[in-house]
Chain A
Amino acid sequence: MMKSLFEKKILIGIFFGMIISLLFYIFWDNVILTKRENKFIIPIDTAQAKGLINKEIIDKPITRIFQLDEEITSFNQRLDDLYILGGIIIALLLAINIGVYIKAEAEIEKHFKDSFSKYKEQVINCVNEAESLIKKAQTELDLISKQVRSIKADKKI
């Protein structure tokens, strides 16, 4: 109950957030930016006089300017395409990496669960073998040294 109420509140918050962002964008685009653009518009003659625009550009035919503008726009669009493509590729690589990581983790866990008893048995067998070898050497040493001691004692007598 509490969880669903919490989720509802989040959704409403997101919705209002989106509306506020949209309103802010419209306000910014229509009022603030327009005002700024108007403020910075300088008549060509004045701009030329102030040396803000290169004389060669003014002298070029208007079609050439439009063509240049279109070329720049087109170039920018291609760059945007490249950015988007690069972004998609990076996102895909990240997704693949995350997928591989999660899958590997799950596989390891499954393998560990399935084979735990088998590996445990192998480890215990190794431990047993080592214990056996240690005890064998120890027993051999004990028996022989005892015998050697008794023989030496007999010789002394």
Chain B
Amino acid sequence: MIEVNQNPKLDIATLSLLKKKIEENKANPEDYKTLDYFLNSFGYESFILDSLKEYNIYSYEEYILEREKSFDLRNRYVNGSVLGIILGAISALEKYITNTIDFK
């Protein structure tokens, strides 16, 4: 179970801020944990962390470090697939809370 210091509120503003922080690699491990916490509330336990493990990244700290690395040394999936998974998860959460999903 993911531990988050405060009880974060799932709203558009928080998700938008998280998205921008992650895109610019200014998010800290707490932010990733918050995201995983939100996903957990929808039944996806450790979704982000498990996705990172698929690409041989075992913690949020490691992911942040990988993204800070220079072009030649970086894990080639970090700025592609992994970032896409995280942004996709945020986008799905946005759709849940804005009720834009067609359940028919």
Mutual binders A and B: yes
Contact A133 B101 (CB under 8 A): no
Q: Which of B58-104 contact A (CB under 8 A)?
A: 71, 76-77, 79-85, 87-89, 91-92, 95-96, 101, 103
Contact B84 A136 (CB under 8 A): yes
Please tell me if A69 contacts chain B, counting CB pairs below 8 Å.
no
Please tell me if A80 contacts chain B, counting CB pairs below 8 Å.
no
Contact A148 B84 (CB under 8 A): no
Assess A140 versus B96: contact at CB under 8 Å? Given A129-B80, A134-B84: no
Cα-based distance from A20 to B93 in the complex (angstroms)? 95
Please tell me if A127 contacts chain B, counting CB pairs below 8 Å.
yes
Contact A138 B88 (CB under 8 A): yes
Contact B71 A131 (CB under 8 A): no
Q: Which of A130, A134, A139, A147 contacts B101 (CB 8 A)?
A: A147
Residues of B within 8 A of A133 (CB): 84
Residue of chain B at shortest CB distance from A148: B103
Q: SS class of chain B's interface: helix, strand, loop or mixed?
A: helix
Size class of the contact patch on chain A: 20 to 34
Cα-based distance from A127 to B91 in the complex (angstroms)? 21
Chain A's nearest CB lies how many Å from the CB of B95? Answer: 6
Q: Which of B42, B43, B44, B79 contacts A132 (CB 8 A)?
A: B79
Chain A's nearest CB lies how many Å from the CB of B38? Answer: 11
Contact B76 A124 (CB under 8 A): yes
Chain A's nearest CB lies how many Å from the CB of B92? Answer: 4
Cα-based distance from A135 to B23 in the complex (angstroms)? 15
Chain A's nearest CB lies how many Å from the CB of B85? Answer: 5
Please tell me if A144 contacts chain B, counting CB pairs below 8 Å.
yes
Please tell me if A82 contacts chain B, counting CB pairs below 8 Å.
no
Cα-based distance from A143 to B93 in the complex (angstroms)? 9
Task: Pick from A131, A132, A134, A152 the residue with the most CB of B within 10 Å.
Answer: A132
Other 12 A-B pairs with CB < 8 A, given A132-B81, A140-B91:
A131-B77, A132-B80, A134-B84, A135-B81, A135-B84, A136-B85, A138-B84, A139-B91, A143-B44, A143-B88, A144-B96, A152-B103
Binding site for A on B (CB under 8 A): 39, 42-44, 47, 71, 76-77, 79-85, 87-89, 91-92, 95-96, 101, 103
